A and B are shown apart, each in its own frame.
Chain A
Amino acid sequence: MITVPALLAVSLPEHPTFADNLQFQLTGLLVVLVTLGTLAILVSLIGRLFIALRPAAAPAAATPPAAPPAPTSAGDIPGPVYAAIAAAVASALGDERFAIRGVQTVDPRSNMSWGAEGRRAIYASRKLR
């Protein structure tokens, strides 16, 4: 059972002066800032601790298998971009064999951007097998 100090409980009458009310509100703002600020500091410190304790990532394979040759025709996608995509896929999949069957540009202004972000978030949440 917590008893509120009498001084605080009677600090604001039903119709206080503007100055008293302003002081009361600024105290309230301080209460919220201190509470959430304390939480922010503690959460930040604990977050750093968790990051430090996280097991190190497994070392990358010394010699990843070479990506299969990219298809020669890729529409309006330049060849170097195609090669970079193939290299990124090879890096992400490690030892796994793969074949790129197509690459498509996505107009960020189209409605597909939502779907793309959703897929990105889902893929990012999964561990690669």
Chain B
Amino acid sequence: MLLDIIHDFGAFFQLTAFSSVTWQMVVMWGVCAALFYLGIHKKFEPLLLVPIAFGALLANLPTEGMITTRVLADGLKETGVLSVYGTALDTGAFRIDHISGGLFDFISQGIKLEIFPPLIFLGVGALTDFGPLIANPRTLLLGAAAQIGVLATFLGANLAGFTSQQSASIGIIGGADGPTAIFLSSKLAPEILGAVAVAAYTYMALVPLIQPPIMRALTTEKERRIRMRSLREVSRTEKLVFALLVTVTTILLVPAAAPLIGMLMLGNFLRECGVTERLVKASQNEIINVVTIFLGTSVGITMAGETFLRSQTLLIIGLGIIAFGLGTAGGVLAAKMLNLFARRNPINPLIGSAGVSAVPMAARVSQIEGQKADPANFLLMHAMGPNVAGVIGTAVIAGYYIATLTR
């Protein structure tokens, strides 16, 4: 009888998932633990890093009914795979009989079909006050100049052996805009989506450490003490006109940026029109919160060990910090250049670094660095101009890459 029990227990053990655990999974548990540490203990963008880490944990467990994984020809794993069964009809149409997949195979379609990032932009638009940008339109140019980091890193990544599509996804990390980075990567290079997202959100959290040395190295004490003129008051009508203007102009010039810019400005228009309070609250809270959970976990489940544990992941993370640094430098130098033409109304170059997006963290860094040079100088609202301009700039450059590099 004892032997039977042992035999049955052994047979039951065959039903458990222990035998499916691979060494890559075990290593990824360590990676997940590190991400949990950064998100929870260090508070590095916890709203995204925690769901990403949990999604990565699920991707590296032999789950059932959660995620379907397909091994590709090159040995990499593709997660979130839906299988559609049906019948080809004589009319040429296809009748779907059955769709099989786990919970996250369906949820992650929000990324694969590029739905989540634009929905996040809806919430971002509803949360953003473009007043400082409208009051000082010159700062739009700082948001454009900060995209130099994206472009230069694209060059570097391509030289390092990445394809053009992958290079674009790596370069966009320098835009410091998580949803845009995810949007572009899922479109051009889904195989490196996990690494790009982790790098983007980690560096966004590290903005207060990465940017100040660059800002100080590129500016003089006198420049850091520049006090900017107070911003004028911007009326509600002007903000509404701005939202429509950005929508029409940007989409006409870069149609591929339409999903991001369109949703960003829809959220902002709802906010500024003053008659859709319930919709604004939903965009600012419920929608963006729900989508953030699904976006984060869906990014996490792309991080299967076989795909993530490669030398190129380290290279992506290394190139990401270069992109951030170059973007910061580009914004600061552009502000100094503008000052050559605007001596009567100079710009404090410290606000140029905010052009890398990372709203509002980068603007806060400008404020803090400015106050180190002059405790009574308040740059925060001035820095919000290039900060939100950076969001538009990153969406535009993403649109350019999508239009030219989509396979």
Chain A hits for B141, CB < 8 A: 33, 36-37, 40
**Other CB < 8 Å A-B pairs besides A28-B151, A32-B400, 10 of them?**
A12-B404, A15-B163, A25-B152, A36-B389, A41-B137, A43-B140, A46-B238, A47-B135, A51-B232, A121-B381
In the docked arrangement, what's the CA distance between A38 and B254, Å? 13
Measured between beta carbons, the chain B residues less than 8 angstroms from A57 are none
Residue of B133, B164, B389 with most chain A CB atoms under a 10 A cut-off: B164
Is there an interface contact between B165 and A14, defined as CB atoms closer than 8 Å?
yes
With A39-B246, A42-B249 as contacts: A32 and B396 at CB distance below 8 Å:
yes
Is there an interface contact between B404 and A32, defined as CB atoms closer than 8 Å? Answer: no
Chain B residues in 8 Å Cβ range of A109: 375
Contact at B392–A36, with CB atoms within 8 Å? yes
Given contacts A9-B404, A18-B159, A29-B147, contact A35 B249 (CB under 8 A): yes
Quick one: CB contact mask for B224-250 with A, threshold 8 Å, 1 for yes?
Answer: 000000001111011001100110011
Given contacts A32-B147, A36-B396, contact A12 B137 (CB under 8 A): no
Contact with A along B142-176 (1 / 0, CB 8 A): 01110110011011001100011100000000000
B245 adjacent to A39 (CB under 8 Å): yes
B143–A25 touching, CB < 8 Å? no
Contact across chains for A29 and B376 when beta carbons are under 8 A apart: no
Decide if A31 touches B245 in the complex (CB within 8 Å).
no
CB distance from A66 to the nearest CB of B (A): 30
Please, which residues of chain B bring their CB within 8 A of the CB of A11?
404
Interface string of B116-136 (1 = CB under 8 A from A): 000000000000000001110
Question: Is B397 touching A28 in the complex (CB atoms < 8 A)?
Answer: yes
* Smallest CB gap from A107: residue in B: B375
Whole-angstrom distance from the CB of B172 to the nearest CB of chain A? 11
The interface residues of chain B lying within 8 Å CB-to-CB of A29 are 147-148, 151
Interface residues on chain A, number (Cβ under 8 Å): 44
Measured in the bound complex, the distance between the Cα atoms of B134 and A46 in whole Å is 9
Tell me whether A37 and B253 are in contact (CB under 8 A): no
- Given that A12-B405, A28-B397 are known contacts, is A39 also in contact with B152, CB under 8 Å in the complex? no
Residue from the list B134, B254, B255, B404 in contact with A24, Cβ < 8 A: B404
Chain B interface residue bracket vs A: 35 or more
Chain A residues closer than 8 Å to B241, beta-carbon distance: 46
Does B259 count as interface, using CB distance less than 8 angstroms?
A: no
Query: What is the CB-to-nearest-CB distance from A40 to chain B, in angstroms, rounded to a whole number?
Result: 4
> In the bound complex, what is the Cα–Cα distance between A51 and B255 (angstroms)?
32
> How distant is the Cα of A12 from the Cα of B155 in the complex, in angstroms?
12
- Contact B144–A33 (Cβ < 8 Å): yes
A117 to chain B: which residues have CB within 8 Å? 378
Contact partners of A13 in chain B: CB under 8 A: 164
- Considering the complex, give the chain A residue whose CB is closest to the CB of B355: A36
**A84 interface residue (CB < 8 Å to B):** no
Q: Does A35 lie within 8 Å of B404, measured CB to CB?
A: no
Interface centre among A11, A24, A32, A44 (most CB of B within 10 A): A32
Q: Which residue of the partner chain, among B133, B234, B253, contacts A35 with CB atoms under 8 Å?
A: B253
How far apart sit A25 and B393, CA to CA, in the bound complex (Å)? 14
Residues of B close to A22: CB separation below 8 A:
155
Chain A nearest CB, measured from B180 CB (Å): 13
Q: Please tell me if the beta carbons of B154 and A21 are within 8 angstroms of each other in the complex.
A: yes
A34 at the interface (CB under 8 A from B): yes
The answer to whether residues A35 and B158 also contact, given A43-B137, A51-B232 and a CB cut-off of 8 A, is no
A16 shortest CB reach to chain B, Å: 7
Complex-state Cα separation, A11 to B401, whole angstroms: 11
Task: Give the shortest distance, in Å, between A33 (CB) and chain B (any CB).
Answer: 5
Q: List 11 A-B contacts (CB under 8 A).
A: A4-B406, A9-B406, A11-B404, A16-B164, A25-B155, A35-B249, A36-B144, A39-B246, A39-B250, A40-B141, A47-B134
Is the Cβ of B397 less than 8 Å from the Cβ of A113? no
Cα separation A113 to B375 with both chains bound (whole Å): 8
